[in-house]
Amino acid sequence: MGQPTGFIEFSRVVPLERRPRERVADFRELHSHLPESTMREQGARCMDCGVPFCHAGKLVDGLTMGCPLHNLIPEWNDLIYRGRWREAIDRLHRTNNFPEVTGRVCPAPCEGSCVLGINAPPVTIKVNECAIADRAFREGWVTASPPSFRTGKRVAVVGSGPAGLACAAELNRAGHDVTVFERADRIGGLMTYGIPAMKLDKSIVERRVKLLADEGVRFVTNTEVGKSYPTERLRGEFDAIALCGGATVPRDLPVPGRQLGGVRFAMEFLTANTRRLLDGEKPGDGYVSARDKNVIVIGGGDTGTDCVGTALRHGCKSLVQLELLPRPPDTRAADNPWPQWPKIYRVDYGQEEAAAAFGQDPRQFQVQTKRMLDDGAGQVRAIEVASVRFVPQISGPPKIEEVSGSERILPADLVLLAMGFVGPEKAGLLADLGVRLDARGNVATDANKQTSVPGVFAAGDMARGQSLVVWAIAEGRDAAVGIDRFLMGETVLE
């Protein structure tokens, strides 16, 4: 490293975000950048640690350890310190197709596995990554680079989220003719409609999609394979197929009153909001405003936080976020050692904004919903909840017990279900292809990401289950390697 003692000399510094009360007035991005001098100091904090865990990309007891993309983190941190930004983006692009996205929305498991993080604040890996990518685009270093030859092989990629686009980008780089099918009206999948604009401005996604199109990737929107585009036609027209449709079936909440108006799945709420921001008001766009409403968000993950942030920007009257699990500890528990992802209490942007608006963190932990109450006209007016405790068992997971006398009524005009996803949609394409599913209902694949049907591959949440954008990109890249090897007998992508 250029400055071996940088981790001693410089403290961790992250960019300032706009004040919560200011940023809830719009959907502009939260992010900003640090001056170059500060960024170079942050690059210098990367230690000469000998065995870096930040790019390990493994699962340890179900938790991510290091970057699933195996980003060359120490290398580009050193290049930042030396001011060699153009070389840094080249290093970054070797492993990551969309660093401008992951630098904004990834929870940074790399930082959870940073060696410096054992006893000090970890290196600002995520901030550094975003700074490299944004500077590269600003300087004009990121340009279309079509392949110099074509193999004549045709590949269909179904789904244009991070897995699909990464798979398409790599296959196109290998010289194959790639067509991406997307049932929505825009390319990007989760990156376009699942992640709110204040976390990821849609112009950033559109910019990358245009680059891919300029490199030769063909995009077909408003087309659902298995419905508007017959599956047999797909099989007949392409030499290989990559299934990257995501885990789009949301987990439901089967309680009395679930059918009432005003109870919506989180992704419906978020998608309609982004569509209106992009297209303006249109009849039948599914948009639901939280303005002047008592909002309950059920689910404590990233999607729940995005619902919190969006409802605040609408101007909701009150806001409560319910989480079934206990409040995480402030520091690592004994059963959550480094270099695992630290399961600790965090205040994300949505909770920070809610606290600024209403005076407290909106989350209530160890709470389960018992029923939803009718206003007499078919609309939700409140929900009944109760506190729970987790009772350890001799074997198996703890038993969830309701705390006697803890029942209470929470006013609710809009209830958003953000409890995750249970897998891909089975009807249509998957049923037509007859691919084997695993025990969790995801598409089963082998080491090459090939399904039980020869020539059909799967990647991302459709095969892995609900996960991170960075895992989806990694899976898409792995599927591209498998497809290239299937088509050519060997691969140029490893």
Structure confidence at residue 481 (pLDDT): 98
Q: What is the pLDDT of residue 406?
A: 97
pTM of the model as a whole: 0.96
Architecture of domain 252-419: 3-Layer(bba) Sandwich (3.50)
Q: How far apart are CA 436 and CA 445, in angstroms?
A: 8
User: Two tokens at 231?
Assistant: 């599956």
Strands (E), 379-444: 380-391, 399-402, 408-411, 414-417, 421-423
**Mean pLDDT per 10-residue section of the chain, whose length is 494 residues:** 88 93 95 92 93 90 91 96 97 97 96 95 97 98 97 98 98 98 97 97 98 98 97 97 97 97 98 96 92 97 97 98 97 92 95 97 98 97 98 92 97 98 96 97 97 98 95 98 98 92
**For position 231, what pLDDT does the model report?**
97
Taken as a whole, the chain contains a residue count of 494
Decide which of 1.10.1060.10, 3.30.450.20, 1.10.630.10, 3.40.640.10 is the CATH code for 6-138: 1.10.1060.10
Give the model's pLDDT for residue 63: 84
Domains 6-138 and 252-419 share a fold: no
Query: For position 62, what pLDDT does the model report?
Result: 83
pLDDT of residue 127: 97
State the pLDDT at residue 430: 97
| 449, 479 contact by CB (below 8 A) | yes
Angle of helix 162-173 versus helix 202-214 axis, rounded to 10:
20
Amino acid code (one letter) for 285: D
Domain boundaries of the chain, sorted by first residue: 6-138, 154-248+422-488, 252-419
As a CATH number, domain 154-248+422-488 is 3.50.50.60
Determine the Cα–Cα distance for residues 146 and 306; give it in Å rounded to an integer: 36
The predicted pLDDT at position 164 comes to 98
